[in-house]
Structures are given as structure tokens and as C-alpha cells.
């Protein structure tokens, strides 16, 4: 498919001798469609050429004596050069491409031969899977799908929080009160109760906290009783987590927790030792990062036990050797910004390849808070994902029962699951990932406005139109001149931009770019639908509009799948 943006950059490049790849970064899509498909702001050249942008624009226009067939005309508006693409050629390119690729439209080969690891979800075992983990899981899954679509060898990793002092606390709590709890029923809730209870006792009695630390040291040393309890907590947790992952359609290529790397930390310590940068400080062993403007990275505590920084370093070493990755993304809340800066800096001392050093990237996201404040497992103030998903499905089912009596019970259940979970996913991915969010049931399950259910409803509307068609027209049967009206052409431009949208979402590690695109495409189709008769027009117009409905249907489903949203066939 023709890259019209790059063609535009090449025209400017020929007039300025500036590389087209450099110019492409500056080219914009005008907000007002009457200003063409692309605009080059000459403000970007004003400093170098020491001229006013309108003067530069006019001088460049004079140098552009011939235009390729892709461009109909260029115009100057202030300091901008506006480019008007051949509408029929653009429509031909995008509609033909979708007919050929169908549901694979958007799939690209940019990442061929490169490996990207995406670490996401990573919940703590023996604790409820709450909405903070949900956001992490959904962002990571979307990025996994986006990179895979771009052709990267993509590996999804669930780095479980299954090690650390908290398990010393869990073991101590279970020692004291385990016989009071039946872990056969609601095991995660019971383990949470034990954790909250022991945590409160630790606040009251320092000696209890010391016992908890001793338990973790025993766990590290392979104490049979502690290891057996830890394994029981882990098995219970994974069983509960898998229920949630199944509902969300999430899978991982690797599920390895911190514990997997526990026996690999000695090698990391040996390597750091040999650099001469591993030093003692107040009994602990640290890497001094003052010259990098950071506090020290603690490698071992004063009692000899390890902390998660050393396990993260061991994981990096393991992943370099196992995958030889080009990028390793860590989808973790921004609260861990300093931790990852420290770990990535220390990782340079492990002798890993430069491409792997450069590929370590923390994909930070904002925290999820309750209206009442920050969530805390210790305080027992969390919103559990299982309950959230079940509530979303139940509320959706009630709406379907009320509004649609023609569906079977099974159809209603399937639609309720897709729409309810789709609403949750879209709500989590509709805004910038870095922003904090306040959890509010009414907002999360609001099906009106720019929401997941709105996108799904638009898709179902395209489906209902296509079901009325006996034979879908082929691309070569379409008269493209019948799609040059504003509402039709707006859809075509959006369909054309889909591949670049996916690239942009990957470049910024920002799934909300896909969410915004889905809303824009849904709005565009709604306008087209409201202003045009699709079935019942003269044959050439009908064929063109049916075909435009078909390609919109394909891309709505494809883009939604990138976010992990399933499309219902009815609604």
C-alpha cells in the first residue's frame, strides 16, 4: 500500500535536500479536512533558514514544479503547506488492501527477526487479584498483541510475586492460626485474612516481625516446613488467578516468579563482586549510584537475605541468555520508577550485550485508587477483579433481559460476558496509561458515551447490515466515485491510518491510541449510517456503501481484538 505520508515528505525533501525520514516526523494531519490530508508546518525550518514560516512555505511551493499522481494539489495556508491526496487512489489502495488481507489487515513485518519480552500482570501470590493488577494485566496484554501484530517475536511473561518477607509473614500467620481457617473454601480470602491479621500483630510487636523475617530466611535456606507452606500458597493462588485470566482471554508464554531466580542470585553477586562496585554499607551490600544521581541499589540485606532487586537482576541475566531480546518491557506502576532506574543501571555491570541494555524499558502506568483513598491488602481495602467482572456481566445481563427478549438464554449469557468484560477492558485502556485513576463502579460500568459497549454496538450495527446482503460485492465491482462524499471519505481515511496507528501505539507503548481510534471510527460510521441510505439505493451506490460497511466491520473487530475485546455478533 502506498505510504502517502512518506510520499509527501519526499516532495519536501526534493525541495530542501533534507532527508525524507527526518521530515516525515513533522508532517501533520490537519484537523480541518478542507485543508487536505497532510500538512507540513514550515515553523520547523524557520530557525535554520532564519525566515518567517509563510515565506518559507511560498518559496518551497515555487520549487515544487511537478507533483506525482498521488497528489492532486498543494496549497499554502499561513506557515503550512497543505497536500491534497488523490482521493480515489487513496480509497483504491485501502479498500483493495483490506479485501486481500481481510482480518489480517494491519498485520505488518516491522519487527521481523526481533524479540520483545513483555512482563505484565505479575500479581503477588496469597493475595487477592485486585483492580491494580487488572490495569497492569490489560495494558500488558494489549502491548503483547500490538507488538505481535507488527511482526515481533513476542514473549509474554508473568513474573509472579512469590518471594520476599511477606511470605515470612504468611508462614508465621499460618503457624499461629492456620487451624482456624478452611482453605478449601474461598482460599484467597482466607489467606488475606491471615495476612491482615499477622500484619497488624507485627505493628504491635516487633518480636513477631523478627519471627517473620526469620521465616523468610528459612524459606531461602530450603526449610522443609516453610517450603511446603509456600508451595501450598502458590498452588492455591495460581488456580484462582487462572480463572480470571480465562475470563479476560489472557495467556502467558512464561510463568516464572521471583522464587525461580532465588538460586540464580549467587552468580549475580559474584559478577558484581568482580567489578569492585559491590560494597558494604551498614551491614548491607550495595551498589553506589550517587554518580548517577540515585540512591544506592541494595543487593543483600544485613542478615544476608536477598531483596527483589537482586532477583530482578538475575531475571535479566536469565532472559538475555534465554531470549537474546531486543526489548524487555516491564509493565509496572510508576511507584517503581526509581527501582527500575537502579536495576537497569546495575544491569550494565553484568556484561550483557549493549542492545539488551538499551532494550530494558519500564512501561509505567498510573495507580488505581478508591474514592476513599489508596488500596491496601494489609488494611483489607481492595476491589477484587473476580467480583468486578462478575458484577459487570450481571449488570449487562440485566440490561439485555430488559431490552431484548428475542435472544436465547445462551445468547444472552455470551453477549453479557463479551459486553461486560469489554466495558471493563475499554475503561482501563481508554485514557493515558500514566494517569492515576479513581475506581468508581458507576463510571466503570457506564455503557453510554465513548465506551467499549458503544464500539461493540457499532460493530453489531455493521453486522446487521451485512446479514441483509445475499452476496457481498467484490472490490473490482465498486465504483469509488460513489464514496467521495464527506462521511464516506472520512471512514476511508481512518481505515487507511490504521497501520500507522498500530505503529504509533507500539512506539509510545500506549494502548489508548487504539482505544481513541476505535471511538473515532465508530463515530465516523455512525455519521455515515445516519446520513446515507445503505440498502435500497441504486445498485452502484448500494454496492459501494455495503462494501464500506464491510471493511469498517473488519477493522473494528481487528482493532478491538488488539485490546483484548471480543465482539458480539448480536446485541
C-alpha dist (Å) from residue 372 to 38, 209, 440: 47, 28, 10
Summarize pLDDT for 178-225 with one digit per residue, the tens: 999 988 888 888 998 999 999 999 999 999 999 999 998 899 889 999
Measure the N-to-C terminal CA separation of the chain; round to a whole number of Å. Answer: 35
C-alpha dist (Å) from residue 93 to 72, 286, 374: 16, 59, 50
The pLDDT value given to residue 133: 87
- Extract the residue ranges of the chain whose pLDDT is less than 70: 370-382, 405, 441, 444-447
Summarize pLDDT for 330-347 with one digit per residue, the tens: 999 999 999 999 999 999
Tell me the Cα Rg of the chain.
Answer: 28
The pLDDT value given to residue 381: 55
Cα separation of 86 and 84, whole Å?
Answer: 7
**Which of 133, 148, 190, 362 is flagged as catalytic?**
133
The pLDDT value given to residue 373: 56
Q: What are phi and psi of 185, to 5 degrees?
A: -115, 130
At a CB cut-off of 8 Å and minimum separation 6, what does 251 contact?
156, 245
Cα separation of 28 and 147, whole Å?
Answer: 24
The pLDDT value given to residue 278: 93
Residues in the chain: 571
Cβ–Cβ < 8 Å for 426, 451: yes
Q: Where in the chain is the domain with CATH 3.40.50.620?
A: 120-374
Cα separation of 461 and 454, whole Å?
Answer: 11
Number of alpha carbons in the 13 Å side-chain half-sphere of residue 349: 23
Helix, strand, coil percentages for the chain (3-state, nearest 5)? 60, 10, 25
Cβ–Cβ < 8 Å for 236, 183: yes
Q: Which residues pair with 491 in a beta bridge?
A: none
The model's pTM is 0.92
Number of alpha carbons in the 13 Å side-chain half-sphere of residue 493: 21
Q: What are phi and psi of 432, to 5 degrees?
A: -55, 130
**Which of 130, 141, 190, 482 is flagged as catalytic?**
130
Cα separation of 143 and 119, whole Å?
Answer: 10
- In eight-state DSSP terms, residue 28 is B
Residue-by-residue DSSP string for 350-402: GT--HHHHHHEEEEEE--EEETTEE-BTTTTB--BHHHHHHHHHHHHHHHHHH
The pLDDT value given to residue 306: 75
Cα separation of 146 and 166, whole Å?
Answer: 35
Cα separation of 552 and 383, whole Å?
Answer: 37
**Which of 31, 61, 102, 127 is flagged as catalytic?**
127
Cα separation of 517 and 530, whole Å?
Answer: 20
Cα separation of 481 and 478, whole Å?
Answer: 9
At a CB cut-off of 8 Å and minimum separation 6, what does 351 contact?
271
Residue-by-residue DSSP string for 305-316: -B-HHHHHHHHH
* Beta carbons within 10 angstroms of residue 549's beta carbon: 24
Element (H, E) at 414: helix 409-429
Q: Which residues pair with 38 in a beta bridge?
A: 83
At a CB cut-off of 8 Å and minimum separation 6, what does 445 contact?
391, 392, 395, 420, 423
**Is it true that domain 120-374 has CATH number 3.40.50.620?**
yes
159 labelled catalytic: no
At a CB cut-off of 8 Å and minimum separation 6, what does 23 contact?
9, 12, 13, 16, 40
**Is it true that domain 4-85 has CATH number 3.30.1360.70?**
yes
- Smallest CA-to-CA distance from 276 within 186, 372, 349 is with 349
Fold of 385-563: Isoleucyl-tRNA Synthetase; Domain 1 (1.10.730)
Q: Where in the chain is the domain with CATH 3.30.1360.70?
A: 4-85
Q: What are phi and psi of 566, to 5 degrees?
A: -90, 145
Cα separation of 214 and 305, whole Å?
Answer: 10
C-alpha dist (Å) from residue 99 to 306, 476, 489, 505: 56, 10, 17, 24
**In what order do the strands lie in the sheet containing 437-439?**
373-374, 368-370, 437-439
Element (H, E) at 94: helix 87-101
130 labelled catalytic: yes
C-alpha dist (Å) from residue 398 to 200, 251, 405, 422, 524: 41, 29, 11, 16, 29
Helix, strand or coil, per DSSP, at residue 20: helix
- Smallest CA-to-CA distance from 202 within 189, 214, 191, 190 is with 214
Helix runs in 178-307, H state only: 187-204, 206-220, 224-248, 265-275
- In eight-state DSSP terms, residue 128 is -
Strands 284-287 and 368-370: unpaired
Amino acid at each position: 500500500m502506498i505510504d502517502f505520508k512518506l510520499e509527501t515528505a519526499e516532495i519536501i525533501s526534493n525541495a530542501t535536500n533534507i532527508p525524507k525520514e527526518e521530515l516525515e516526523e513533522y508532517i501533520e494531519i490537519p484537523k480541518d479536512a478542507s485543508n487536505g490530508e497532510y500538512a507540513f508546518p514550515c515553523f520547523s525550518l524557520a530557525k535554520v533558514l532564519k525566515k518567517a514560516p509563510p515565506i518559507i512555505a511560498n518559496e518551497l511551493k515555487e520549487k515544487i514544479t511537478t507533483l506525482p499522481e498521488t497528489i492532486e494539489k498543494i496549497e499554502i495556508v499561513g506557515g503550512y503547506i497543505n497536500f491534497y491526496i488523490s482521493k480515489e487512489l487513496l480509497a483504491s489502495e485501502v479498500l483493495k488492501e483490506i479485501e486481500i488481507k481481510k482480518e489480517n489487515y494491519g498485520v505488518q513485518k516491522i519487527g521481523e527477526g526481533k524479540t520483545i519480552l513483555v512482563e505484565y500482570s505479575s500479581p503477588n501470590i496469597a493475595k487477592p487479584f485486585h483492580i491494580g493488577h487488572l490495569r497492569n494485566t490489560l495494558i500488558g496484554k494489549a502491548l503483547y498483541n500490538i507488538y505481535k501484530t507488527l511482526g515481533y517475536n513476542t514473549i509474554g511473561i508473568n513474573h509472579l510475586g512469590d518471594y520476599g518477607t511477606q511470605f515470612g509473614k504468611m508462614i508465621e500467620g499460618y503457624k499461629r492460626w492456620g487451624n482456624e481457617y478452611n482453605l478449601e473454601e474461598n482460599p484467597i480470602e482466607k489467606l488475606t485474612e491471615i495476612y491482615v491479621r499477622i500484619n497488624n500483630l507485627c505493628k504491635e510487636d516487633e518480636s513477631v516481625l523478627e519471627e517473620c523475617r526469620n521465616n523468610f530466611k528459612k524459606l531461602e535456606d530450603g526449610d522443609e516446613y516453610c517450603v511446603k507452606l509456600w508451595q501450598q500458597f502458590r498452588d492455591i493462588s495460581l488456580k484462582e488467578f487462572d480463572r480470571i485470566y480465562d475470563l479476560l482471554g489472557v495467556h502467558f508464554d512464561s510463568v516464572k516468579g521471583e522464587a525461580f531466580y532465588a538460586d540464580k542470585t549467587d552468580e549475580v553477586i559474584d559478577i558484581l563482586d568482580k567489578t569492585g562496585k559491590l560494597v558494604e554499607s551498614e551491614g548491607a551490600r550495595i551498589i553506589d549510584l550517587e554518580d548517577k544521581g540515585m540512591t544506592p541499589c541494595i543487593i543483600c540485606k544485613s542478615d544476608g537475605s536477598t531483596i527483589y532487586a537482586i532477583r530482578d537482576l538475575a531475571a535479566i541475566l536469565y532472559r538475555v541468555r534465554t531470549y537474546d531480546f531486543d526489548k524487555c518491557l516491564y509493565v509496572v506502576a510508576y511507584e517503581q520508577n526509581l527501582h527500575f532506574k537502579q536495576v537497569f543501571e546495575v544491569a550494565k555491570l553484568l556484561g550483557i550485550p549493549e542492545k539488551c541494555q538499551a532494550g530494558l524499558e519500564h512501561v509505567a502506568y498510573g495507580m488505581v485508587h478508591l474514592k476513599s483513598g489508596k488500596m491496601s491488602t494489609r488494611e483489607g481495602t481492595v476491589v477484587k477483579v473476580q467480583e468486578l467482572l462478575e458484577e459487570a456481566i450481571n449488570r449487562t445481563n440485566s440490561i439485555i433481559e430488559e431490552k431484548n427478549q428475542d435472544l436465547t438464554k445462551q445468547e444472552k449469557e455470551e453477549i453479557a460476558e463479551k459486553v461486560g468484560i469489554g466495558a471493563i477492558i475499554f475503561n482501563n485502556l481508554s485514557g493515558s496509561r500514566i494517569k492515576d485513576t479513581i475506581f468508581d463502579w458507576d463510571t466503570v460500568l457506564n455503557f453510554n458515551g465513548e465506551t467499549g459497549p458503544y464500539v461493540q454496538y457499532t460493530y453489531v450495527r455493521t453486522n446487521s447490515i451485512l446479514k441483509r446482503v445475499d452476496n457481498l460485492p467484490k472490490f473490482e465491482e465498486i465504483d469509488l466515485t460513489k464514496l467521495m462524499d464527506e462521511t464516506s471519505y472520512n471512514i476511508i481515511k481512518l481505515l487507511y491510518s490504521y497501520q500507522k496507528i498500530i505503529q504509533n501505539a507500539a512506539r509510545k507503548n500506549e494502548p489508548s491510541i487504539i482505544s481513541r481510534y476505535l471511538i473515532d471510527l465508530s463515530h465516523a460510521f455512525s455519521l455515515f449510517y445516519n446520513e446515507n441510505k445503505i440498502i435500497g439505493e441504486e445498485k452502484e451506490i448500494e454496492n459501494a456503501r455495503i462494501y464500506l460497511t464491510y471493511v469498517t466491520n473488519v477493522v473494528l473487530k481487528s482493532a478491538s481484538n488488539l485490546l483484548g475485546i471480543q465482539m458480539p455478533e448480536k446485541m
